[in-house]
Amino acid sequence: MKQGGIAAGVAAVVIILLAPAVSASGVDQPPRTVGELATWCRDALQPWIPGDEPPAAEAARGAYCFAYVQAVIDNKSVAPGNPYCFPVGASHREVVEGFVKYAARAPREMQEAEVGTGVDVALRAAYRCAAR
């Protein structure tokens, strides 16, 4: 199976597993583009005050974002030649922040790319490795 196919497969599993929770929370559709997912991620990264938690739909979108990005990372990190060069000691939150920052300034084609393969491309660009 090609690596792009693996990423799409992992994405499909994430969607299948999280879709019921997202749907039950009032969210109609999972994001279809990198830009939409980055918006969900950006909203999830916003600080909240204890006792003033985000609505269920926003919390579900945030959980979906973090799980989706992690699934793409996990999928690629087991493939030969890990394509990402994350900063040493970076937390998952910091990696998602980098993804959001990259997606916000990425060319329109990247923002409109299909989320299944686009997240991998965005992470590769945001965390580009020096020539090996």
- Tell me the domain boundaries of the chain: 3-126
At 120 the pLDDT is 93
- As a whole number of angstroms, the distance between CA 98 and CA 17 comes to 25
pLDDT digits (tens, 9 = 90+) for 104-117: 999 999 999 999 88
pLDDT digits (tens, 9 = 90+) for 38-50: 999 998 898 877 7
Instruction: Taking residues 60-65, report their average pLDDT.
Output: 92
- As a whole number of angstroms, the distance between CA 14 and CA 18 comes to 6
- Could you tell me the pLDDT band of residue 126, with boundaries at 50, 70 and 90? very high
CB neighbour class for 77 (10 Å; exposed up to 12, middle 13-18, buried from 19): exposed
- Of residues 31 and 4, more confidently modeled: 31
pLDDT digits (tens, 9 = 90+) for 2-23: 444 454 455 555 555 555 554 5
Contacts of 3 (CB under 8 A, 6+ apart): 76, 79
pTM of the model: 0.74
pLDDT digits (tens, 9 = 90+) for 67-121: 999 999 988 877 777 889 999 999 999 999 999 999 999 999 999 999 988 999 9
Alpha-carbon radius of gyration of the chain: 15
CB 62 within 8 A of CB 93: no
